[in-house]
Structures are given as C-alpha cells and as structure tokens.
Amino acid sequence: MPEPASKPAPSTLRIAIAGVSGYAGGELARLLLRHPRLQSATPLLLGRMGEPEAVPTALTHLHPQLSGIGPANELRVLPFTWQQLQRQSIDIIFLATPHEQSRAWAPQAIAHGMRVIDLSGAWRLQQEHNRAVYKLEDTDPVLAAELQREAVYGSPELHAPAIRNARLVANPGCYATSILLALAPLVRSGLLDLDHGIVCDSKSGASGAGKALVPNNLFMHAADNLSAYAVFGHRHTGELLEQLGLSSEQFQFTPHLLPIPRGILSTIYVRLRQPSRPEEIQAVLERFYAAAPLVRLRPSPQLPQIQHVARTNFCDLGFHLGPDGRKMVVVSCLDNLLKGAASQAVENMNLMAGWKQSEGLQ
C-alpha cells in the first residue's frame, strides 16, 4: 500500500536546545551548528532550570571546544522561559534535561505548538512498572498518560515511520541503543532460543553518567579500574524488555564503568534455535540494516572496537558464531554521547522534518 501523501519538507526549522550545558547538550549544539539545513536559523540555546534572573552565558564558556564553529563565539545560553521560545516561533525543542524536568516541560512545549525530542528517560517507557525506576510525579496525571501513549520511542532503525509524524519522541538510552541494535534483527527473525536466555555485558565511559558529582565517577575511583554497577536494577533494562518483547526471565543486563571518557561496548551472549552458518546470520543483519545509514556491519568474525566509533555517529556491529553453530557472541559499539544520545536525536529531528535521516551526520 503506498504511503499517504505528505507535506513538502521545510527548507529549515526553528530549533531550541534546553539543557545545552550538559555533555549531550554540548554535542547537540555542535551538530546543529554544522547542520546544512540550519545555517540560516541558529538554534536557540537555553539553560536547564528556568531561572529568569540568571545572566546569559557564552556558549564557548560552557563548551570551549565549540569555538570557531559557525556563529558559536557569538552565541549565548539564555535562561529558560516559554516567552523566549514563543518569540522565536520554535518548531522543535530538544530537552537535554533531567528526567523530572523533561516530564514536566514536554506537555507544556506541546501545548505551545512545539514538537519535542526528549533525551531523558521521562517518556521512553509505556509500562508503569518499568517507568517506576525514574520516580516521576505528574501534576496532571491524565494528560501525562495521554502523552505517554502518544510518545514514540526514538530508535530510527526500529520506528522511523512513527517518528516522522510524532509530536513527542523519546530518545533511547545509550546502553539500550547499543543492545537494541544488536538484538532486534535476531529477535524479530526468530533465530534466538529465548528460553535459553540472553546475557548483555556492557561497558561505558564515564561521560554516560553526565556531569553530576557522583563519587564512583571521580578520578580516584574510575581511573585504572573496571567496576560493575546497578546489577539487576539498571534503568535502561525496562526499555530493552519493552522494545524487544522479552521477559525479565529471558534477559540479563549488567553495565560496567570503563576508565575512559566516552564510548560503549556491549558483548551479548545468545544461543540460536538451530545451527546456522555465519553467512546466514550476516545476511539477516544486512537485510535488516540495508536502509540504516548509521549502522555499520563488520564481516564475521571481525568485531567492533570503541576506538573506531568514538566521536563518530555510527553504531558498529559484529558477531562470532561458535563451532557448534548455535552459541553466538554479538558485539556492539557506539559513542554514548553521539549515536547513544545527541546524533540519534538529530536523526529523529531529520525524520520529523522530512529530511534525509543522516543529514548533517555523515
């Protein structure tokens, strides 16, 4: 059936970033300042907490690495106000804000006629028992429930058609992105013995926890160290179960902190229902990602490495099949601040605008 006719894609959009001071917010600013569609419409840069008395801050004071990129040297990060957004007729707002703030601001942004791409976990989870990990409280529970049902999980490789027409896109978590892209083709094709279980061993650089002063992320703990954390309780587990259609009995995810600034490597252990050959698995992955510009497949038995994806917008996937043709290890690598956050959010913006998915990212 042909797709319904759509409106012509706009040549540009008015964009705002709330929470530009964070790591992901800074990467968003860098990508959008270089985006070819936004050269005539500089993004509006806003703070996080909505303090109208705060003094505007130079973008390059917060992020010196952006100096010299387009108009970055002249840009100021302004206090967040709805009046500021309305004056500039913002079309899409990125919320690079804490979960509680995104939960409160997304309904207000939509009420003001904006579309929202939220980088927090506030809107990712449809099932209340999974969402409970964020301890969110809604001032208008009825409205929040309506928007939650409407929210689209923003994985471009899995939900591009829904993202195009969405008012509220919930950008996936960084760990979740690395694992979903590795497992979705295998789960959807019915290749996996799900009763045998799936084990995901994931390792992330310290920037994954944001700028908050968390003792375990300090140099004295993280340097020359490798540590597991949030065992049986990481907040990305719920979105993985929902998106893959798995039960908690079929799936185990354990994250680890690497002593590096950025990057994620997920090693995933699965068992196939029937013996297979490497070329059969490779063909499944190639078909699934034939139209995915930011997923790169390694030919088996080559496996991805963090050094090959750090500071890029790609997710690299590879696998190694055991001698029995059933045991298999899948490895997924990405930059947690880019494909795990900011560049995936830009992919979603591109889809929502009717532009090429990878525009400004390759």
For 295-358, the DSSP string reads: EEEPPTT----GGGTTTSS-EEEEEEE-TTSSEEEEEEEE-TTTTTTHHHHHHHHHHHHTS-TT
What 3-state class would DSSP assign to 238?
Answer: helix
Q: Pairing relation of β-strands 92-95 and 115-118?
A: parallel
Residue 3 placed within a domain: no
pLDDT by residue (tens digit) across 228-281?
988 998 899 999 999 999 999 999 999 999 999 899 999 999 999 999 999 999
Domain CATH for 58: 3.40.50.720
Based on the fold, state whether residues 123 and 244 are members of the same structural domain: no
Based on the fold, state whether residues 161 and 203 are members of the same structural domain: no
Residue 1 placed within a domain: no
Mean pLDDT of 139-162: 97
B/e letters for 162-190, b = 16+ CB within 10 Å, e = fewer, are ebbebbbbbbbbbbbbbbbbbbbbbbeee
Mean pLDDT of 190-208: 93
Residue 311 placed within a domain: yes
Based on the fold, state whether residues 61 and 135 are members of the same structural domain: yes
| pLDDT for 209 | 59
Residue 360 placed within a domain: no
CA distance linking residue 201 with residue 126, whole number of Å: 25
For 122-147, the DSSP string reads: TTS--SHHHHGGG----SSHHHHHHH
Residue 78 placed within a domain: yes
pTM of the model: 0.93
Residue of 337, 333, 314 whose CA lies nearest to 210 = 337
pLDDT band at 103 (very low <50, low <70, confident <90, very high): very high
Q: Mind spelling out the 3-state secondary structure of 186-204?
A: HHHCCCECHHHCEEEEEEE
Residue 27 placed within a domain: yes
Based on the fold, state whether residues 163 and 278 are members of the same structural domain: no
Residue 8 has pLDDT above 80, yes or no: no
Residue of 228, 331, 326, 217 whose CA lies nearest to 277 = 326
Based on the fold, state whether residues 304 and 321 are members of the same structural domain: yes
| pLDDT for 224 | 77
Based on the fold, state whether residues 75 and 191 are members of the same structural domain: no
pLDDT band at 1 (very low <50, low <70, confident <90, very high): very low
| pLDDT for 102 | 96
Based on the fold, state whether residues 137 and 189 are members of the same structural domain: no
Based on the fold, state whether residues 261 and 165 are members of the same structural domain: no
| pLDDT for 217 | 66
| pLDDT for 10 | 86
Q: Which of the residues 174, 200, 315, 333 is marked catalytic?
A: 174
What percentage of the chain carries pLDDT values higher than 70?
Answer: 92
Residues 333, 304 contacting (CB under 8 angstroms): yes
Domain CATH for 190: 3.30.360.10
**What kind and span of H or E run contains 44?**
strand 44-46
Number of domains in the chain: 2
pLDDT by residue (tens digit) across 77-101?
999 999 989 999 999 999 999 999 9
Residue 358 placed within a domain: no
Based on the fold, state whether residues 90 and 188 are members of the same structural domain: no
Residue 215 has pLDDT above 70, yes or no: no
Give the CA distances from residue 349 to residues 116, 122, 176, 238, 342, in Å, rounded to whole numbers and listed in that order: 9, 18, 20, 24, 11
| Domain with 55 in it | 15-171+341-353
On the question of a cis peptide bond just before residue 301, with omega within 30 degrees of 0, the verdict is yes
Based on the fold, state whether residues 61 and 76 are members of the same structural domain: yes
Tokens of 185: 């083709």
| pLDDT for 2 | 46
pLDDT by residue (tens digit) across 289-311?
999 999 999 999 999 999 999 99
Residue 200 appears among annotated catalytic residues: no
Based on the fold, state whether residues 330 and 254 are members of the same structural domain: yes
| pLDDT for 4 | 47
Based on the fold, state whether residues 214 and 280 are members of the same structural domain: yes
Residue 285 placed within a domain: yes
